[in-house]
Copies of this chain bind each other. A is one copy, B any other.
Amino acid sequence: MDNEIINIPEPVLRRLVRYHYYLLKQVETGSLMISSTSIADHLNLDSVLVRKDLQYTGLVGRPKTGWVTEELLKAIESTLGWNNFNDVFLVGAGRLGSTLLHYGGFKNYGFNFVAAFDVNPEVVGTEINGIKILHTDKLVNLAERMHIHIGVLTVPAENAQVAANLLVEGGIKAIWNFAPIQIDVTKDVIVVNAQMTQEIAILANKLSGLLKAKLES
């Protein structure tokens, strides 16, 4: 009833993902306890910031010792919703789509691909990594029947809006859009765009700052 997964600020979410990754490595190396100071040191952050962020998990640390590493890892997973599966549809089983299907790692983040869709007769009917590729005709009906909430969009830009409409028609509530185009959806549907171009812009800006600093020194 009192679900805690609510409205966590984006910067905090991004850092929780980084803590998760670091803790995973620490658990593997046999670390039993972990402190905010050690996390902060490794990720180049302030330890107070780490403690503030970790409060979103609801877990309380022990002075002098910190947190039980594995407990904290689980708490972060639960806060991020990575401990229960979300069934996911993928639309567009081309190069990028099949790359995502082949990569099994998304399961660790609660993303469970249950079916993929395409119109290309060469791929419809085949399987990628155990996931069936079906014709897009079947999407709306199946999404409704299976109560799918999440769709991943990996179609070419020119087909993205049509594909998005199908997802929405099928009752999908959130779309992860890899098509290099802004898609229009009704207000009650969430769109998260894959932000490769933004990452390129950030990289280029940092690089030019670095090169300039070097010139001046």
A-side interface residues toward B, CB under 8 Å? 3, 5-8, 10, 13-14, 16-17, 21-22, 80-82, 86, 95-96, 98-99, 102-103, 105-106, 109-111, 149-150, 173-174, 176, 180, 182, 188, 190, 192, 194-212
Contact = CB atoms under 8 A, between A and B. Distances in A.
Contacts of A202: 10, 13-14, 192
A174 B203 contact: yes
Contacts of A111: 200
Given A13-B198, A173-B211, A197-B17, A204 B105 contact: no
A17 B10 CA distance: 19
Nearest to A7: B209
Given A109-B197, A203-B192, A173 B3 contact: no
A184 to B, nearest CB: 11
Nearest to A200: B109
Contacts of A103: 95-96
A86 B13 CA distance: 32
B174 A192 contact: no
B102 A208 contact: no
B105 A5 contact: no
Given A204-B86, A212-B3, A105 B190 contact: no
Given A6-B209, A174-B203, A195 B192 contact: no
Given A99-B96, A207-B149, A201 B17 contact: yes
A188 B210 contact: yes
B17 A198 contact: yes
A146 to B, nearest CB: 16
B190 A210 contact: yes
A153 B145 CA distance: 40
Among A103, A190, A205, A210, max chain B CB count under 10 A is at A205
B105 A180 contact: yes
A104 B68 CA distance: 47
A201 B80 contact: yes
Nearest to A3: B212
